[in-house]
Structure 1
Amino acid sequence: MSVLEGEGWLPIGSVVHLNENGHLVMIAGAMQRDENTGRLWDYMGFPYPEGNMKPGESLMFNRSDIDRVYFLGYQSLSGIDFLEFLKKNEAEFRKRQLSAEEAVRQAGEAPASHDAVNDADYESTTDESDQDLFEEQWGVEHDTAE
């Protein structure tokens, strides 16, 4: 099975169609934490073709929300290394994702709804670099040098 068939991670810049909401989204980040809810999402992206027009327009979504890949993002040596990094850390990410969902449920919030990717409660933007995010969230450094 390939990334085009829903297996594995998609490169940054990939354009996908999300289930049930009719939007095209360009992937701009992977393994993302929603700062407001603490939920962990597979991807963060922006509406395509508009992009990031204003704060709060980012969409958080999971691999299961993608029903079609329209464009596979640019792949370089550092991009391939990054996809390997995601693959290597996926099991730990999934554990943390389940723990975060359980914490949200125990706090009395509604469970995550994959068709609610447009809800402001599920959106997140950040000013930090990807390197800082990975160091902060996962405690690992990711070398992006080619």
Structure 2
Amino acid sequence: MKGGCMKEYLPLGSVITLKNGSKRLMIVGRLQNQIGSNDIYDYAAVLWPEGLVDSKHFYLFNHEDLDKLYYIGLQDMEEFQFRPVLESKLNETVHKKKA
């Protein structure tokens, strides 16, 4: 994750492909830590249409890795009210990396 300003994160349920990827993925998490490291990724996703096949297999990637957007997930009032929480988490992450 680069930068410190709030980007427009795709909502959960969005279906995408990654650059150099052929399989579609569905976003199931945002601002995700990789277990065993300090790396933070913009998104976590699972295979689409298979879904979560194994709890150890999530795809972690950043916004700049996206190639194609097939479907935008649910955007309602609850999603828009949650975005400041994401922004706060992003700011905390950026400050921790600088410290």
TM-score of the aligned structures, taking structure 2 as reference length: 0.79
Separation in 1, partners of 2:94, 2:65: 16
Given that residues 15 and 48 in structure 1 are in contact (C-alpha distance below 8 angstroms), is that contact kept between their aligned partners in structure 2?
Answer: yes
**Structure 1 moving runs of 4+ over 2 Å:** 87-96
**Is the partner of 2:73 in helix, strand or coil?**
coil
More strand by share: 2
Matched residue, 1:53: 53
- Cα deviation code 1:13-72 (max 9, x no counterpart): 111111112221111011111122231111111011111012222111111111121111
**Is the partner of 2:85 in helix, strand or coil?**
helix
Q: Structure 1: where are the runs of 5+ without partners?
A: 1-6, 101-146
The structure having more radius of gyration, on CA atoms, is 1
Q: Structure 2: where are the runs of 5+ without partners?
A: 1-6
**Is the partner of 1:45 in helix, strand or coil?**
strand
Count of residue correspondences: 92
Higher relative contact order (CA 8 A, sep 6+): 2
Separation in 1, partners of 2:14, 2:94: 22
TM-score of the aligned structures, taking structure 1 as reference length: 0.56
**Is the partner of 1:30 in helix, strand or coil?**
strand
